[in-house]
Amino acid sequence: MTEDTGASAEATVSCAMCRAEVPLSVAVAGEAGDYVRYFCGLDCFAAWRKQGVAQGSADAGKHRE
């Protein structure tokens, strides 16, 4: 028999900067070439963009919500 705990099994993703696990429904997405990176919030997204610009990455400026 399966026990229902009342909690839904929501998909989570790992933040590309701090590696925190966040629900996919609240993650900020940033496109990086042919794939998407997820961030726990705008602070980590901004840090990733800043890091990419400093390294000269063409992908760091793209944003998708």
Q: What is the value of pTM for the model shown?
A: 0.63
With respect to residue 33, please indicate whether it lies within any of the assigned structural domains. Answer: yes
Spatial distance between the Cα atoms of 18 and 23, rounded to a whole number of angstroms = 14
With respect to residue 65, please indicate whether it lies within any of the assigned structural domains. Answer: no
Tens of pLDDT, residue by residue over 3-36, are 555 556 789 999 999 999 999 888 888 876 678 8
Spatial distance between the Cα atoms of 42 and 54, rounded to a whole number of angstroms = 18
Domain that holds residue 41: 12-55
With respect to residue 18, please indicate whether it lies within any of the assigned structural domains. Answer: yes
With respect to residue 6, please indicate whether it lies within any of the assigned structural domains. Answer: no
> Is the Cα dihedral 47, 31, 28, 5 positive or negative?
negative
When divided into structural domains, the chain yields a total of: 1
With respect to residue 40, please indicate whether it lies within any of the assigned structural domains. Answer: yes
With respect to residue 62, please indicate whether it lies within any of the assigned structural domains. Answer: no
Burial of 28 (0-12, 13-18, 19+ CB in 10 A): buried
With respect to residue 24, please indicate whether it lies within any of the assigned structural domains. Answer: yes
